[in-house]
Structure 1
Amino acid sequence: MVVVLLAGHPTYWHRAGQGAREALLVHCSLAHSGAWRGVERVLSEQLKMLALDLPGHGRSADWDGVGDYQDTSVHIAEALLNRETTGPVDLIGHSYGGTIAMRLAQRNPARVRSLTMFEPVFFSAARNHPAYAENTALMDGPFAQALQVGDRMEAARLFNALWGRDVAWQSLPLSQREDMARRIHLIPAGKPVTHHDIHGQLAPGALERLEIPVLLMEGAGSPALVGAVHDVLEARLSNVRRHVIEGAGHMAPITHPAQVGDSILAFLRETAPVGA
């Protein structure tokens, strides 16, 4: 596909799969829509998928810094769904993309058939857990200091050490490390959502009202904060399943696409027939 104007923002997106059901895939921070290629291959016979590059990622235009980053992303995703889909969709989101997918479902649940989130970064849900303090100490300390002095590569390295530990920093190609460093300013752009729940996605009743089937996925080797967040979400969501990918971490949709894709297929078949 080419870059098109969605909600006023030049956005790249692509389509994959030939299935009967429509789906939207939303990638994690510092990645792009191509990160879903492995998972798309697993789901290609059952789902007709859309995947977009979020603002500042991949081939989409950079974010202009105006307003809230998640707001911008949600409006773009809604414009893509309005343009390219006709019925209810299955939403699949990874990390920060999971927060966007859930917001789409909360804003218009009638348009959503199911919601899959791989480690959505709703950190404020686990504010009282020790892992929250550890994460905050790193991000408000060494990470923020590196950004303040303009050392974007060091900021990217620190972020990867925490959330990309299943993909060692030094093993990444230099071009990929440089790309992450160029986009690292988008991490603090997500903080109003991840740490402050600016849109009330976790407000009293907000999760409980989401009645569609939800799958929470996590890597067995992911940071403890992931499990703490999922414990809260699992307790409050009314129709939820939880699955752990053994031997994987936060980047499992990229490092373990077969296991992630198979788990999604099992969830879809259990909650509503894939051919429905």
Structure 2
Amino acid sequence: MADLPQPVFSRSFGTGARQLLAVHCSLAHSGTWRGLEAALEGDVTLTAFDMLTHGRSPDWDGLGDFQDRNVQAGLTLLEKPVDLIGHSFGATVALRMAVQRPNLVRSLTLIEPVFFAAAMAEDPNALQDLEVENRPFLDALEAGDAALAARLFNRMWSSGAPRWPDLPEPTRAAMTRAIQIVPACDQAILTDPLGLLAPGGLKGLTMPTLLLRGSETKQIITSVNKGLCKRLPNTMSSVIEGAGHMVPISHSTDVADKLRELWKTCPDPSSSS
């Protein structure tokens, strides 16, 4: 049944007092947060899970909506107040988790969220350039060439990352496995089926919220963050210079600094002496 969450693989890094829960981007896995935990220098325990069809988690069973299923899985790990962080599609999952359990989210950080509906709410033509850029990836996927589709998608979003031939074979295989579900994300990120962008749709998210992007990212991410910033009641927006879409991996120290600034507004009672 779609209302029962699929089990997912999760792991924790660090032993610090402040509890973080993180959701990775598409084609990645929970281990990509290891660098951020290290940059936070022992202050946190960071728990992350592999989304369905990623990492060590099982393939999505095809029931319900893909974003819904990952939200359900993530909520099984949200048992006490945490700082919730998400990157790219994982940021859209984290946003949904916060909407459902705001009392358990001490702070919310959305890094490069691909909630494109927020950009289109400001400008109906916001998606035009991305649709053109997406076409070769979609053509490869429709032709049944998953490896080529993964390579093209990775090229689109992983500015500054190693080229496809330079990636280890297990990494390429994992990306090829996960690429199949990218189109299944479209309804949630393009159409706002739950009405989160409607007046008052995000009013319950009163926790301190950070919208973070790289200065070298795609223009549509800038528009997404502007649209969300208008609707989130307690938010700040920040940019990391020189970074692209993969900013939590490529610029983990800078991201850690931004998180520390955010957390000054919401101290963790359990970490005080």
Name the SS of the counterpart of 1:134 in structure 2.
helix
Match of 1:209? 204
CA deviation after TM superposition for structure 1 residue 214, in Å: 0.3
Question: Counterparts of 1:183 and 1:71 in 2: how far apart (Å)?
Answer: 17
Q: 1:241 aligns with which of 223, 236, 241?
A: 236
Structure 2 residue 86 is matched with structure 1 residue 93? yes
Which amino acid in 1 is paired with 2:136? P
- 1:168: Cα distance to partner? 4.5
Contact 2:78 2:104 in 1 (8 A): no
After TM superposition, list the pairs within 5 Å mapping 1:96-245 onto structure 2.
96-127=89-120, 128=123, 130-139=125-134, 141-170=135-164, 171-245=166-240
Measured against aligned partners, the alpha-carbon deviations of 1:210-249 in whole angstroms (never above 9, x if no partner) come to 2111001101110111101111111221111111111111
Contact kept? 1:156, 1:181, Cα under 8 Å: yes
Aligned positions of 1:44-63 closer than 5 A: 45-63=42-60
Compare 55-64 and 41-50 and name the one that shifted more. Answer: 41-50
Shift of 1:131: 4.4
Amino acid at match of 2:18: R
Alignment partner of 1:11: what SS? coil
Q: Is the partner of 1:190 in helix, strand or coil?
A: helix
CA distance in 2, matches of 1:49, 1:178: 26
Q: Secondary structure at the match of 2:19?
A: strand
Deviation for aligned residue 1:130: 4.7
Partner Cα separation in structure 1 for residue 83 and residue 232 of structure 2 = 17
Instruction: State which drifts further: 141-150 or 107-116.
Output: 141-150
1:254 match:
249
Aligned residue type for 1:113: R
Code of the aligned partner of 1:151 = D
Q: How many residues align?
A: 264
The aligned amino acid for 2:108 is L
Structure 1: tracts of 5 or more residues without a match? 1-6
Amino acid corresponding to residue 30 of structure 2 in structure 1: S
Q: Distance in 2 between matches of 1:201 and 1:27?
A: 21
Query: 1:114 aligns to what SS in structure 2?
Result: strand
* Distance change in 2, residues 1:102/1:272 (3 Å): same
Q: Which amino acid aligns with 2:167?
A: L
Contact preservation (8 Å) 1:123, 1:194: yes
Q: Report the secondary structure of 2:46's partner residue.
A: strand
Q: Is the 8 A contact 1:122 1:194 kept in 2?
A: yes
Alpha-carbon distance in structure 2 between the residues aligned to 1:10 and 1:240: 32
Aligned alpha-carbon RMSD (Å): 1.8
Q: For residues 154-177 of structure 1, give each alpha carbon's deviation from its aligned partner in whole angstroms, at most 9, with x where no partner exists.
A: 211221222112215344334423
Q: Amino acid of the residue matched to residue 14 of structure 1?
A: R
Higher mean alpha-carbon deviation, 69-78 vs 26-35, is at 69-78
